[in-house]
Structure 1
C-alpha cells in the first residue's frame, strides 16, 4: 500500500501546483468532459506516431523472448482486452507502470509537436454554462503537459486521468463504464443528463451514449463519417459550438 500511496499523493500535489482546483460541485451545472489526445489537437501532430513507436520499443525491451509478430499480436490483444496495452504488461509481465509512463509518455518532445492554440482558447473562453473537465486515458503528467502547451490549463477545472499503477480492483479506462463513473464522481456531477463528452474514439462516444449521457460529440477529423457514432459528429474541435450551440449562445466564434 505505501508504494501505491506515494504516487497518488504526488498526483494530488501536482494537480494543486498546476492550478487545478475543482469548484464546489453544483448538480444543476452541466459538465463538458474533454478528451485530450487527438481531440484537442489534430492527429497529424505526430504525437500518436511517436507514442506508438515508444510502446513498440518498450515491448521489444521487455518481451525479448518473443518475435516481432508475437509482440505485435500481444500488443493488439492487450489493447482490445484492457483498453490500454500497458495494463496487460503490468498484469502478465510484472512491468513497473511508472517506468512505462516514463519511457513512453513522459519523454515525448511535446513542445516540438504542439503549440499554444489561441483559437481553441478563445472558443473555450466563450463557452457559457458548463464546467470544463479533462477526461483522458493518458497519465497525469502527459495530460497536464498537453493542456499547458496548448495554453488552456487555466480553463480546465480538473482532470480524470488513468493511473497505470492502480490496484486491479480500481483500474479503469475509457470505454469501461467504471471510468465514466469515476469521471462523474471526480467532477461532482452524478446526473448523466448533465454530462457531455467530446472524444475522438467511437468506442468512447458509444459508451457515453449507452450510459445516457446528454451528449456524445465524436471528433472524427479525417475519418469517414459514421452515423451510428455519437449524438453529433464534427471534423475538428473548432466545430464544437455547432454541435452544442446551447453553450455558445450569443458568442461569436471562429468557424
Structure 2
C-alpha cells in the first residue's frame, strides 16, 4: 500500500543493484588510494586516510579532491573505474523484478555514467529510462541537495510519487524530505569502507531490505 502512488523508481548503482560481496568497490577503493597518493605525493596510508576522510566529509572522495585540490574529475574517474568487471554476473531475476515495476525507472549514481553503463551491461539490466551520473549533476554528489534537484530538473519527476533505493543511509535523507519513499538496501554502510549500521538509521529510512529482488517482487 505504501507504494501504490509511486510512478518513478530511482536506484543507486554500487552495492545496491549488485551485492557488496562482489567486491567491485574494493577494486575502486584501491585505485582511489593509488590515485590520491600520486596526485598529492603522499604515502599509501595517508592517501587511504584522505580517501576515507573526503568520503565522509564531502559525500565522495572525488568531491573532496575537487573542493580541496581543484583536480580534474574526468581524469580521476577514468583512472579509478579502470577495473575488472568480470566479478559481476548477470542477474536476470533482478532484471525481471525491475521490469515489472509500473512506471519510470532511473539510475542515479555518484559514479560516472560510462562506468554505470559497464556495470549495468554486466548485470544484464537494461530496463532504465536514463542513467544520471556525477557528470549529469555538475559533480555534486549525493547527499548534496543539488544532486537531487538536478535529477528532478532533468527528468521532471514528482518526488512525492517517487521511491529511492540506496545502500548508504546518508543518501536517503534529502529524498525523504522531498516526500519520496526511501528504501535502504543492505546493511546500511556510511560509505563503502565504513562499518555496517546498527539497524537504527532514523525516520528518513522508511523501508529496509537485504534482498532487493525479493522486495521488488513483493511490490508487484
Tell me which interval the TM-score lies in, with the shorter structure as reference length.
Answer: 0.7 to 0.9
Would you say 1:195 and 2:168 are equivalent positions?
A: no
Q: Which runs of 5+ in 1 are unaligned?
A: 1-27, 249-255
How much does 1:206 deviate? 2.3
Higher Cα Rg: structure 1 or 2? 1
Q: Which residue of 1 aligns with 2:193?
A: none
Alpha-carbon distance between aligned partners in 2 of 1:78 and 1:126, rounded to the nearest angstrom = 38
Instruction: Give the structure-2-normalised TM-score.
Output: 0.85
Q: Deviations over 1:29-70 (max 9, x none)?
A: 721001111001000101011111110111111121x34444
What secondary structure sits across from 1:137 in the alignment? coil
Q: Structure 2 matches for 1:61-210, cutoff 5 A?
A: 61-64=38-41, 66-105=42-81, 107-110=82-85, 112-127=86-101, 129-153=102-126, 155-163=127-135, 170-189=138-157, 191-210=158-177
Equivalenced residues, count: 207
* More divergent stretch after superposition (96-105 vs 46-55): 96-105
Structure 1 partner of 2:183? 217
CA distance in 2, matches of 1:80, 1:177: 16
Aligned-residue CA RMSD (Å): 2.3
TM-score (structure 1 length as normaliser): 0.74
Is 2:14 the partner of 1:44?
A: no
2:215 corresponds to which residue? 240
What SS class does the counterpart of residue 216 from structure 1 fall into?
A: strand
Once the two structures are overlaid, the 10-residue window that deviates more, 90-99 or 51-60, is 90-99
Indicate conservation of the 8 Å contact 1:133/1:187, yes or no: no
Unmatched runs of 5 consecutive residues or more in structure 2: 189-195
What's the secondary structure of 1:152's corresponding residue? coil
Counterparts of 2:201 and 2:75 in 1: how far apart (Å)? 40
2: CA distance, partners of 1:148 / 1:68 = 32
* Whole-angstrom CA distance in 2 between matches of 1:227 and 1:90: 29
Deviation per residue, 1:178-223 (Å, 9 max, x gap) = 111111122221x22111101111101222112222x000002584
C-alpha spacing 1:114/1:92, structure 2 compared with 1 (3 Å): same
CA contact (8 A) 1:42 1:221 kept: no
Following superposition, which runs of at least 4 residues in structure 1 exceed 4 angstroms of deviation?
221-224
SS in 2 for 1:36: coil
